[in-house]
Structure 1
Amino acid sequence: MKLIESGQEIRFIDVDSDRVPCSLLVKLTDRTYRMTFAYNETADFFTVSLEISNSGGNTPLVYGEVLRYGKPLFEAFNDERYPLPVICPLCLTGDEIDTITYDNFGTKVRLYLFDRPGGEN
């Protein structure tokens, strides 16, 4: 998707809430990650676990991080094992959304990828 106003290409990780729980292999920069999504029906929130996927198996990095609208994923971690782009759940449709729900995740709220300040991405 391209934003016409800025000419900037917008990239996102495509997750379908109807398929959760699910795992996706996602290639970001020079690494492939496994992201496993789950949904807590009682409390109405999604979580994501992150692993580095390699030929010898998967190396776990984070278990069950809660997705919060507008809050970048894995921001508490800052070393070379974590994805270079900033991954942030947002709605760019103009709708006034401030919470991720089962009905809007993957349709209006998506996991957008942004260049990390000072990063190569």
Structure 2
Amino acid sequence: MAKRNYIDFDKEEVPVIFDIELAEDTYTMGINYNQTNDFFSVDLWDIDGNVIVLGEKMMLNRPLFEDIVDERLPAPTLTAMDEAGNEKRVTYENFGVTVFLFVDDIGDPSEEPNVDDYDTNDNLNGDDPNVD
């Protein structure tokens, strides 16, 4: 099965600002932590340093920037997720341990079977894709 990439940064170094390439565009991203309320937020600038979004709160299983309409936003969806489904929210304690900021650039895995999902005897559906 295809795996999502995640944005790797050291939460011990927050606040942190770095350049990141998303769908062949380069952005500057800032990650901040609100110690009082125990949440992370994201800032995003275009390559020229123009602000796109400031202070977007990371919420578990909710895509960043989902309520913002701006053509400058990155094409892949960025979502803080716990792939095991055990966490209830993003916290300092679980971020980078069980919760990661994923780049959803693989699309909907239910739409197309991945070649790695096949074994030598059968495939995902039980149908041979090479036979009409």
Tell me the TM-score normalized by structure 2. Answer: 0.74
Between the aligned residues of both structures, percent identity stands at 35
1:16 is matched with which residue? 10
| Pair 1:109 & 2:99 matched | yes
Report the alpha carbon displacement of residue 95 of structure 1 after superposing the two structures with TM: 5.5
Structure 1, residues 91-113: CA drift from partner, whole Å, max 9, x if none? 12x26101111111122211111
Report the alpha carbon displacement of residue 35 of structure 1 after superposing the two structures with TM: 0.9
Gaps of 5+ in 1: 1-6
Structure 1, residues 38-66: CA drift from partner, whole Å, max 9, x if none? 11111111111110123xxx010111011
Q: Is the 8 A contact 1:15 1:110 kept in 2?
A: no
Choose between structure 1 and 2: higher strand proportion: 1
Gaps of 5+ in 2: 109-132
Higher alpha-carbon deviation: 16-25 or 108-117: 108-117
Runs of at least 4 residues off by over 3 Å: none
Equivalent residues, number: 107
Higher alpha-carbon deviation: 106-115 or 35-44: 106-115
Q: Which has the larger radius of gyration?
A: 2
Tell me the TM-score normalized by structure 1. Answer: 0.80
Query: What is the distance in 2 between the residues matched to 1:38 and 1:25?
Result: 15
Q: Give the alignment's Cα RMSD to 1 decimal.
A: 1.7
